[in-house]
Amino acid sequence: MSPASGFRRRFTALLRKEVRQMLRDRSNLAVGLLLPVLLILLFGYGLSLDVQNAPVAVALEDSSPSAREVASGLQGSHYLAPVWVNNMAEAQALMRAGKVDGIVRIPMDFSRQLAAGEARVQLLLNGADSTTATAVEGYVGGALGTWAQHQADRAGGKPAALGSVLVVQRMWFNEAGNSTWYLVPGLLVLVLTLIGAFLTSLLIAREWERGTLESLFVTPVRPLELVLAKVAPYLVVGAINIVSCLLAARLLFAVPIRGSLWIILLASLLYLLVSLLLGLFISGLTRSQFKASQMALLLSFLPAMMLSGFVFDLRNVPVVIQLVSKILPATHFMSLIKTLFLAGDNWPQILSNCGVLLLYAVVLTFATRRTLRKTLD
């Protein structure tokens, strides 16, 4: 018998066993297919960084027409929902109770100051939610700026001796600045990370705990064959998830897919493989289901969510954190998938990121194989 046919025979036998095992416990498969659907819906409909209708208390202490006009300027935008109050005490009570995100105070001497050229408006923000606070600051500033501009146009009077700078803003890849567009590609990364972590991280640990791995030692099965047979069935489950994520991104959330679909599929499969192998490696390394599941949570899911550039921009963090994030396969896939979705095919990036993922796949395969050496210690 040639070595190749021996490999094929042993591999198919192992594969059949793994597939049966996967199918026998339906919960595994059910969760594997249900989780992505759940996440797709949550991502598309539940997560948003776009602040809308943020309640702000407006304390109008000056009743002059210009002050009232300024205040009513806050009403026009759908980003702000002004709540009219009579005095600052009332406004502060609302803010303490968490009912409003900020307070706009138009002071008593507003119109007098305005006549003198420069008027102050006080803005108080609840910094406990800094994301919303920053957004509200921008909206209020914008609304007041628009009013001042109108005012200047209406006055029409003195032409400026010196010109002014006008910012022409162009947002590439995501013209509307819609946060769904940037969160949904990240969904693919999180789903594949989770799939890898929870489908494979217990596979070897369980066999160690039950002693079934030791019984394999007396067979001619080689560690590498075992690794491949354990990963293969879950590649199929993961592939289904990739397709459902892509369909949802395109059909439900209308996120553009500007890069080549084939490259997206290929890169996703590659990351899926890395993710499954990482789970398997953790499993072989810890040899205990308890430790394996904790490690999977700590090494794959949490870093993928917090350090991969999913919501937090990595260009903006200290170098040490950038280096740590570069160790994670998820970071490379995150950067690639966002570019492929929103920007298009960028070959230097495709090649370098896929190269890194491929390297991970090879390293993890051999690392996992080492954890399966036939020793009893």
Partner 1 sequence: MSEFIAFLASSVAPSLAATLAPILALIRKELLAIVKDPASRAILFAPALVQSLLFGYGATYDLTHAPYAVLDQSHGAAASELLARLDGTGVFYRATTLTAPRQIAEVIDAEAALMVLSIPPDFENRLARGQQAPLQMILDGRNSSTAGAAAGYVGAIVADYNKTRTGGAGITVERRAWFNPNLESRWNIMPALIAALSMLQTLLLAALSVAREREQGTFDQLLVTPLTPMQILIGKALPSILIGLIQSTIIFLVIRFWFRIPMNGSVWLMYGGLILFNCAAVGIGLSISALALSMQQAMLYTFLLIMPLMLLSGLLTPVRNMPAVLQIATYANPLRFGISIVRRVYLEGAGLADVAPDFVPLLAIAALTLPLAAWLFRNRLA
Question: Restricting to residues 189-228, which ones interact with partner 1 according to CB under 8 A?
Answer: 190, 194, 197-198, 201-202, 206
> What does the per-residue mask of binding to partner 1 show for 330-359, with x meaning CB under 8 A?
-----x--xx--xx--x-xx----------
Interface segment toward partner 1; rule CB under 8 A; list 142-150, 232-240, 264-272, 369-377: 142-150
**Chosen residue from 151, 212, 215, 219 binding partner 1 by CB under 8 A:** 151
Residue 99 Cβ, how far from partner 1 at the closest point, in Å?
A: 11
For the chain, give the longest Cα–Cα distance. Answer: 100
Contact 197, 276 (CB under 8 A): no
The residues near 339 (Cβ < 8 Å, ≥ 6 apart) are: 259, 346, 349
Contact 328, 172 (CB under 8 A): no
> What does the per-residue mask of binding to partner 1 show for 89-118, with x meaning CB under 8 A?
------xxxx---------------x--xx
Please list, residue by residue across 161-194, b when 16 or more beta carbons sit within 10 angstroms of its beta carbon and e when fewer do.
Answer: eeeeeeeeeeeeebeeebebbbbbbbbbbbbbbb
| 40-59: contacts with partner 1 (CB under 8 A) | 42-43, 45-52, 54
What's the distance, CA 307 to chain centroid?
10
State yes or no: residue 77 binds partner 1 (CB under 8 A): no
**Chosen residue from 61, 137, 222, 269 binding partner 1 by CB under 8 A:** 137
Contact 325, 331 (CB under 8 A): yes
| 294-333: contacts with partner 1 (CB under 8 A) | 294-295, 297-298, 301-302, 305-307, 309, 311-318, 320-321, 324-325
State yes or no: residue 289 binds partner 1 (CB under 8 A): yes
State yes or no: residue 146 binds partner 1 (CB under 8 A): no
Instruction: Name the residue nearer to partner 1 (CB basis): 120 or 370.
Output: 120
State yes or no: residue 377 binds partner 1 (CB under 8 A): no
Instruction: Name the residue nearer to partner 1 (CB basis): 265 or 285.
Output: 285
Report the distance separating Cα 191 and Cα 17, nearest Å: 26
* C-alpha to C-alpha distances, 16 to 9, 95, 196, 225, 284, nearest whole angstrom: 11, 62, 20, 13, 21
Interface segment toward partner 1; rule CB under 8 A; list 82-90, 174-182, 213-221, 232-240: 174-182
Amino acid residing at 42 = L
Structure tokens at 5: 């046919």
What's the distance, CA 41 to chain centroid?
14
